[in-house]
Structure 1
């Protein structure tokens, strides 16, 4: 299934493009996107074409941070029909869970996962695209829009402990620091927002559970045909979150999904795949992404892909890519440098 996003992103693009002196209609035509989408924020458009639009427009505007600029003007109402429900949440934790429950009304590409360890929590953002890496602009848009959602719940002046991006820093990070704050980490091993667990779980004293119930009922009435993630998508999302922690056995993934190993394997087989195929596919994406990051060592890439030993990672990588991790990295970084 082709990854798709809501066309509200094109509205934001048009506004930012004009401010940068770019003709948005011409760029939309070049990307193969219908400008009629600008008048209908809830249409679903191909994510790949949108990513190409951002890349081409950024190049035309001197490598401008389009995704960041678009995300910085994101409002609660831009989350569409679920915005009313998001407005009536008891805490940021419940808001994020609601976002996951109704993600199908927003995009087929976005997955969030919250990981808590003691007093620190991380909201990880994953973009499931048809590319090896999501790209700088779509990820910066996603993180910045997510940050706006956090600030809606916790207050406009709220600041995260840190914001992490897996891509390299742009030539100038002035806009990033103005929008996101000073605690930004580029070339990180994940994309997401770091915050205190206290902020994540803080209860809104003015929360009205009856209003939340009314909002949920309205959404369920007008959008009854919910399309939950397929079992393969659920498994991929769970594996992606568990891999860096070395927890990627079928039993561990099944437990995270609330089912048994046998049930998970059977459901995956009914979807014409298997647990091992799904695991290997996620690992390939994680490994490629990590090895393309010159700030990460091969050992760190191995750990992110769920391997405790470099030798095991090398054997697995050589089997799937027909060369060693270091050889693959050298080749691709050389190509990137020449480009």
Structure 2
């Protein structure tokens, strides 16, 4: 099955490399170990495979002996990590407008990441979802992304922004001291998603970086970059639509094309240009969703089968054996055992 390669921008990867170096690690050696060449960071247009980024964070945590390395350097917000999307965000009038712009342009930073605003008690959740492909998402990658975005919001407001609450989908770590220092808010682990809750009054605040005279220019540059990327990234947008419609059963290609505002013929041609068929795309989305949901012990296998659009459990079990070489229950047990071993190893250090 052909799988879409998710990618991350050089601007974001430069931020990761800087963080590793500041923590005393040999960033170039770590990049090389996961098959990346750090000198390619000089190419602003280069896109980096997202699975390699996950492996990079795993190595960084191991070599540093610091499982909280993703939360390092809290006093150094890096707006340049977001490239042109960051500039468009910074020129916005309010924090809400800035986050809305970032959501629009996030795939310029990484097409493996989506940010959404969702209603919450007293405000809105700034939710981050990461798609990892074959490689499970290490918690350091979520830690880095969530705290990076919060610190950018603080920097644009030029004041200490305290979330109403912060959530992480990974298990509670042995120590939450780094999380308390980073977020200074109530914390929830084993949560349904990763993100932080911002009060409505904070969202309405004016940004100190606001530049109305530059906003249109930044939007135009970002829109042009987005258009160039989307021309070769129809599959990425289709994945979101597929995940949305899957609970009603396997969606028709024409239905997904309509969700994207394309004709069925144009949609089919663009997928062909990207080297992936619609059936492979459906399969790939189901596999990634299965990985995510099976790692959440609160979800039953029946619920997961439903969310993947399978009419019966036997079809789900056959698909799991095709993807992972084992049943859903066996895959879940293996992942959970891996998490337990990680905790035990950390306890022994």
Q: TM-score w.r.t. structure 1 length?
A: 0.76
Deviation by residue 1:262-284 (Cα, 9 ceiling, x = unmatched): x4697258625777764554343
Match of 1:111 in 2: 114
Q: 1:160 to 1:276 in 2, by over 3 A?
A: farther
Instruction: Confirm or deny that 1:175 pairs with 2:178.
Output: yes
Q: Is the partner of 2:228 in helix, strand or coil?
A: coil
What is the 5 A alignment of 1:220-299? 223=225, 226-228=228-230, 230-240=233-243, 250=251, 257=259, 259=261, 263=263, 267=267, 271=271, 278-279=281-282, 281-294=284-297, 296-298=298-300
Match of 2:161 in 1: 158
Instruction: Confirm or deny that 1:204 pairs with 2:220.
Output: no
Q: Is the partner of 1:125 in helix, strand or coil?
A: strand
Contact 1:236 1:282 in 2 (8 A): yes
Match of 1:321 in 2: 320
Match of 1:125 in 2: 128
Q: Which has the higher contact order (CA 8 A, sep 6+)?
A: 2
Q: Which moved more, 1:162-171 or 1:313-322?
A: 313-322
Q: Is the partner of 1:271 in helix, strand or coil?
A: helix
How many Å apart are 1:111 and its aligned residue? 1.8
How many Å apart are 1:59 and its aligned residue? 0.5
Contact 1:48 1:130 in 2 (8 A): yes
Structure 2 gap ranges (5+): 343-349
Q: TM-score w.r.t. structure 2 length?
A: 0.74
Q: 1:338 to 1:171 in 2, by over 3 A?
A: closer
Q: 1:21 to 1:271 in 2, by over 3 A?
A: closer
Q: 1:121 to 1:315 in 2, by over 3 A?
A: farther
Q: Is the partner of 2:72 in helix, strand or coil?
A: helix
Q: 1:169 to 1:77 in 2, by over 3 A?
A: same
Q: Is the partner of 2:5 in helix, strand or coil?
A: coil
- CA distance in structure 1 between the partners assigned to 2:279 and 2:98 by the alignment: 33
Deviation by residue 1:244-302 (Cα, 9 ceiling, x = unmatched): xx678859x85994649xx46972586257777645543432232232234x2426953
Contact 2:86 2:102 in 1 (8 A): no
Match of 2:151 in 1: 148
1:2 to 1, 5, 13: 5
Q: 1:66 to 1:300 in 2, by over 3 A?
A: farther
Match of 2:219 in 1: 216
What is the 5 A alignment of 1:181-192? 181-192=184-195
- CA distance in structure 1 between the partners assigned to 2:158 and 2:249 by the alignment: 37
Contact 2:117 2:124 in 1 (8 A): yes
Q: 1:47 to 1:284 in 2, by over 3 A?
A: closer
Q: Is the partner of 2:132 in helix, strand or coil?
A: coil
Tell me the number of residue pairs that the alignment of Structure 1 and Structure 2 aligns: 329
2:65 to 58, 62, 67: 62
Contact 1:113 1:241 in 2 (8 A): no
